[in-house]
Amino acid sequence: MLRKINCFFHFPKHVSFSSSSNPCTCQLPLSSFPPSSPYLKSLCSNGQLGEALLEMAFQGPAMKFEGYDALLNECVNQRAIREGQRVHAHMIKTCYLPPVYLWTRLIVLYTKCDSLCDARRVLDEMPERNVVSWTAMITAYCRKGYASEALNLFIQMLRSGTEPNEFTFATVLTSCIGPNGINLGRQVHSFIIKTSFESHVYVGSSLLDMYAKAGRIHEARGVFECLPERDVVLCTAIISGYAQLGLDEEALALFRRLQMEGMSSNYVTYASLLTALSGLAALDHGKQVHNHVIRSQLPSYVVLQNSLIDMYSKCGSLTYSRRIFDSMPERTVISWNAVLVAYSKHGKGNEVVELFELMREENEVQPDNITILAVLSGCSHGGLEEKGLEIFYEMETGRFGVEPEIEHYGCVVDLLGRAGRVSEALDFTKKMPFEPTAAIWGSLLGACRVHLNVEIGDSVGRRLLELEPDNAGNYVILSNLYAYAGRWEAVRALRELMKEKAVIKEPGRSWIELDQILHTFHASDRSHPRREEVSAKVMELSVEFKEAGYVPDLSCVLYDVDEEQKEKILLGHSEKLALAFGLIATPKGVPLRVIKNLRICVDCHNFAKFVSKLKGREVSLRDKNRFHQIVGGICSCGEYW
């Protein structure tokens, strides 16, 4: 209605203006009034999409490029798909022939409104396409995770003779992520070199990320070093590349170097850095990053807060972890998962269950498969097998909206095995709808070792060795079990088999952080400046502990040497070195926080209990899977890990 009034107001003015240039205009019928593009544009820029659509209807076939452009622009801004469809329909009805630009705006509109089919239809039906139209569609497929559609379309684009540009390359490479995409990615890389886009930062970041995510970190680094220009995203990509591969020291070192060279950081950079610090359990560094984040008054980014939750928990500080979680103005499922995992790894089963109940009560975010995994493994580590089973059966009814996957079944096997219900666990693996993985057999074997079930352990262990002949850990556990049972012949046979298959054990490393320095120890590495002193201290402790009842567990040594040698090997284990160093280098009563890259061995676990009891230190040991919080000789793991 408003428009009509306006129209009449404008009428006389318009006629007088037009008549001066073209005297015939005043006789034209009403429908051919020259349209008021500025008016339509102002409606659009005010966000009055409804009014603007009325104006469009009023103008009918007189609609011009500017009007459509303004309308589509605002539809994109508002993600207004229905309104956009009306504009689209109007073009068709009035036989308007849009230029490529407008067709492309339609594609963009549909992709931003998650209507990829509509977008694709436009692309297929428009009379001609340019690089932007193709790229917009490819980008949409990439973002939605439709990698093969994206790549097919890219190929179709090349066949059509359209030259890709830097936008196309930056986006299409994100669909070459993963082991299968790498070959195609290399081809795209050579194409990029041929077309001279290889020094473009956006293209470079994408390329780098592709190599990093395929585990080809040297190639990623090569791309990084060759780029003439660097920005935050590129620097973050290489740092997170290292961090995601567990190359935490490299990530940290590179961050330091780049920072000295003047790199700017943003919240993504910090999140990636925190991932590396979590891996290293570098609490002092982590706190420094946290302080920096607070001081620089960054807005509250959920992603960054999530990283902080994880960092504190993996550095052993559950309190801080929870504090971050509680202070967050908004949380995603990842925030909940991170804090659930935190409690789970610390063996706090009750807290896990409590928090999960709170999550369901608040009902702001829906649990996902990882949530349930964290809860189940929390119940397992926390000794709540009945509760865990209850939750698993509830999951099977579909109550959480998450379908049970093989990992969930694995948790139940772990749960039953840990509770000593080993044969039930074995039955469960037979009944579950998945083929058991090596991890599941491994957890069952662990249960057999702890509960000394040689019969099941024997058959499970054999299957496991067939399935995973290269994993040294399996040989160790099975050998432990045979040793407990006094089956020395079997121990020997296992050792032969290991030699035959040339299984290489990943070297065990342990470290401890003192004043922002990580002191790393390794059984056969003598590079630490105080290494001699540390070894002497271990010997001294061993003597002292033996008087108090410590008996070295020689079954932890797989080498075929005499007992004296075995004991010597045990005393060289990296965990003991790190503990001894902690005792030497910190004042009495200070808790010791030791991190190990592998599972901790039974003997070292025992040794640590003596440290806590006889030396009056709380010992926090983080191994590959979980935390061992040892106070007064009692460990939070309940002797099962």
Partner DNA sequence: CTAGGGTTAG
443 binds DNA (CB under 7 A): no
Element housing 324 (H / E): helix 318-327
201 binds DNA (CB under 7 A): yes
* Residue nearer to DNA on the CB measure, 389 or 439: 439
Convert residues 203-222 into a mask of x (bound to DNA by CB under 7 A) and - (unbound).
xxxx--x---x---------
143 binds DNA (CB under 7 A): yes
Half-sphere exposure (Cβ direction) of 142: Cα atoms closer than 13 Å? 22
Window contacting DNA (CB under 7 A); options: 78-86, 301-309, 477-485, 487-495? 301-309
CA atoms of 65 and 87, how far apart (whole Å) = 12
Is residue 113 within 8 A of residue 79, CB to CB? The reply is: yes
Q: What is the 3-state secondary structure (H, E, C) of 229-265?
A: CCCHHHHHHHHHHHHHCCCHHHHHHHHHHHHHCCCCC
Convert residues 317-336 into a mask of x (bound to DNA by CB under 7 A) and - (unbound).
---------------xxxx-
Binding residue for DNA (CB under 7 A) from 36, 37, 171, 555? 171
Give 510's strand partners. Answer: 521, 596
Binding residue for DNA (CB under 7 A) from 91, 113, 142, 425? 142
Q: How far from 186 is each of 332, 456, 575, CA to CA, in Å?
A: 36, 48, 43
Nearest alpha-carbon partner for 605 in 635, 584, 571: 635
CA atoms of 567 and 545, how far apart (whole Å) = 14
Query: Two tokens at 520?
Result: 């790393």
* Distance in Å, CB of 258 to DNA, minimum: 12
267 binds DNA (CB under 7 A): yes
* Distance in Å, CB of 467 to DNA, minimum: 14
* Residue nearer to DNA on the CB measure, 190 or 300: 300
122 binds DNA (CB under 7 A): no
Note the Cα 394 to chain centre separation in Å.
Answer: 27
CA atoms of 384 and 394, how far apart (whole Å) = 15
Kindly give the pairing relationship between strand 509-514 and strand 619-622: unpaired
CA atoms of 328 and 317, how far apart (whole Å) = 17
Query: Two tokens at 625?
Result: 């899977």
Binding residue for DNA (CB under 7 A) from 18, 85, 266, 586? 266
Convert residues 391-430 into a mask of x (bound to DNA by CB under 7 A) and - (unbound).
----------------x-----------------------
* Residue nearer to DNA on the CB measure, 123 or 478: 123
* Distance in Å, CB of 520 to DNA, minimum: 21
The DSSP secondary-structure symbol of 437 reads P
Window contacting DNA (CB under 7 A); options: 214-222, 272-280, 321-329, 488-496? 272-280
CA atoms of 232 and 328, how far apart (whole Å) = 26
Binding residue for DNA (CB under 7 A) from 36, 37, 59, 133? 133
* Residue nearer to DNA on the CB measure, 51 or 166: 166
Binding residue for DNA (CB under 7 A) from 233, 245, 328, 365? 233
Binding residue for DNA (CB under 7 A) from 168, 479, 480, 555? 168
* Residue nearer to DNA on the CB measure, 251 or 571: 251
Is residue 632 within 8 A of residue 342, CB to CB? The reply is: no
Window contacting DNA (CB under 7 A); options: 77-85, 228-236, 454-462, 542-550? 228-236
Q: Which of residues 589-628 bind DNA (CB under 7 A)?
A: none
Helix ranges restricted to H, 385-437: 385-396, 406-418, 422-431
The DSSP secondary-structure symbol of 116 reads H
CA atoms of 260 and 263, how far apart (whole Å) = 7
637 binds DNA (CB under 7 A): no
Is residue 251 within 8 A of residue 239, CB to CB? The reply is: yes
374 binds DNA (CB under 7 A): yes
* Residue nearer to DNA on the CB measure, 104 or 520: 104
Element housing 7 (H / E): helix 2-21
306 binds DNA (CB under 7 A): yes
Query: Two tokens at 164?
Result: 């890709």
* Distance in Å, CB of 425 to DNA, minimum: 17
Is residue 281 within 8 A of residue 313, CB to CB? The reply is: no
* Residue nearer to DNA on the CB measure, 104 or 535: 104
Window contacting DNA (CB under 7 A); options: 32-40, 202-210, 249-257, 518-526? 202-210
453 binds DNA (CB under 7 A): no
Q: How far apart are the first and last CA of the chain?
A: 75
Element housing 611 (H / E): helix 602-614
* Distance in Å, CB of 330 to DNA, minimum: 11
Binding site for DNA (CB under 7 A): 100-101, 104-105, 108, 130-133, 135-136, 139, 142-143, 165-168, 170-171, 174, 200-206, 209, 213, 231-234, 236-237, 240, 243-244, 266-269, 271-272, 275, 278, 301-304, 306-307, 310, 332-335, 337-338, 341, 368, 370, 373-374, 377, 407, 439
